[in-house]
Chains A and B, each alone.
Chain A
Amino acid sequence: MINIFLIIFSGIIVGRLFRNSRFTKYVGKIISAIIVLLLFFLGMEVGNNEQVMQNFRLIGLDAFVIALAATLGSVLCAWWVYRKFFRRKKEKNA
């Protein structure tokens, strides 16, 4: 796992060194292309994995529940921060 951090941080250093280079314009596009390739690989892994294929509905349900919780938790925290720090006095009466 230490690999991941090392790779990201070496990327950050390279990015910092070359931040004014023209090449930085293409970084977003390169990332998208690599993601397409890797999602294709992930798809192949899923299609080849009978356990995942058979439990797809259960996996989908778990995913939906986690997504709902994550969204709700964020929204509630957002509400608190908004009322405490961002809402202007005028809006309070509205």
Chain B
Amino acid sequence: MRDSVIYLLFFALGVVLAAVGLIPDTLLSGEISKWILYLLLFFVGIQIGTSKNIFRVVRSFGFKIVLIPLATTLGTFLAVALVSFALPNRSVIDCLTVGSGFAYYSLSSILISEYKGAELGTVALLANIVREFLVLIFAPWMVKYFGRLAPINAGGATTMDTTLPIITKFSGADYVVIALFHGMIIDFSVPLWVSFFLSIQ
């Protein structure tokens, strides 16, 4: 939660400084941020490579645990593709690109604005922040009507960090490992899905 606030503060600071005109044009060229983005992706790769526990968790829970991130991915893509027809300004692929952020708003919005422009990047930032907040606010309600997995699937990539405490509280402690596993898989899939959808438009 503290990280999210810091991220948002820096984003807002950038908006204000640029809107007031305090930023020199050389910083806005986009060349610098592209190289920093590559650095970020390299470290995201390192993070995937160094995590050891994924396969152990799968073995202890059995194969059905794999169904959970699968359900998140499928449910998100289906619903987002459907709703794109109600949004005249966004294509199906645009909506899928934003949806494949899975609440990992920082990475998805950065990637999308680099390759698709600041507008869709901002949609991704806001949409994926809202997704995280929906879980933080409605987790007890989701568990009550849709079962203990509901806040985990809704939480997307955040179920290994920001939404984990609330999931523990309402789904129960025996779902913590599931939430961690799910968050890890979705987290790692975000840059892959986002760049996949960016590449097919």
Query: Which A residues form the contact surface with B (CB < 8 A)?
Result: 1, 3-5, 7-19, 24, 27-28, 30-32, 34-49, 51-53, 55-56, 58-60, 62-83, 85-87
26 contacts between A and B (CB under 8 A): A5-B195, A8-B41, A11-B44, A27-B43, A28-B47, A34-B36, A34-B43, A39-B11, A39-B106, A40-B11, A44-B14, A44-B23, A45-B28, A45-B30, A63-B130, A66-B95, A69-B83, A71-B131, A71-B135, A74-B153, A75-B154, A77-B75, A78-B149, A79-B147, A85-B64, A86-B64
In the complex, what distance in Å separates the CA atom of A59 from the CA atom of B153? 25
Contact between B37 and A8, CB atoms less than 8 A apart: no
**B135–chain A nearest beta-carbon distance, Å:** 7
Given the known interface contacts A13-B49, A43-B14, the answer about A73 and B78 at a Cβ–Cβ threshold of 8 Å is yes
Contacts A44-B23, A81-B153 known; 15 new A-B pairs at CB < 8 A = A4-B111, A8-B191, A10-B45, A12-B49, A15-B48, A27-B50, A38-B110, A42-B118, A45-B121, A46-B122, A59-B119, A65-B83, A66-B98, A70-B80, A82-B146
Say whether B1 faces chain A, with CB atoms less than 8 Å apart. no
Q: Is the CB of B191 within 8 A of A37?
A: no
> What is the chain A residue whose CB lies nearest that of B89?
A62
Q: Is the interface of B mostly helix, strand, loop or mixed?
A: helix
The distance in angstroms between the C-alpha atoms of A36 and B4, with both chains bound, is: 10
* Cβ–Cβ contact A42 & B110, under 8 A: yes
With A35-B7, A39-B10, A45-B113 already in contact, the answer to whether A70 and B19 are too (CB < 8 A) is no
* Binding site secondary structure of chain A: helix
A47 to B22, CA, bound (A): 11
Q: Is B164 an interface residue (CB 8 A)?
A: no
List residues of chain A with CB within 8 A of the CB of B130: 63-64, 67-68
- Which residues of chain A come closer than 8 Å to B87, judged between CB atoms? 62, 65-66
Q: Are B14 and A53 in contact (CB under 8 A)?
A: no
**In the complex the two chains form, is A48's CB within 8 Å of B75's CB?**
no
How far is B191's CA from A29's CA once the two chains are assembled, in angstroms? 18
- Name the residue of chain A whose CB is nearest to the CB of B87: A62
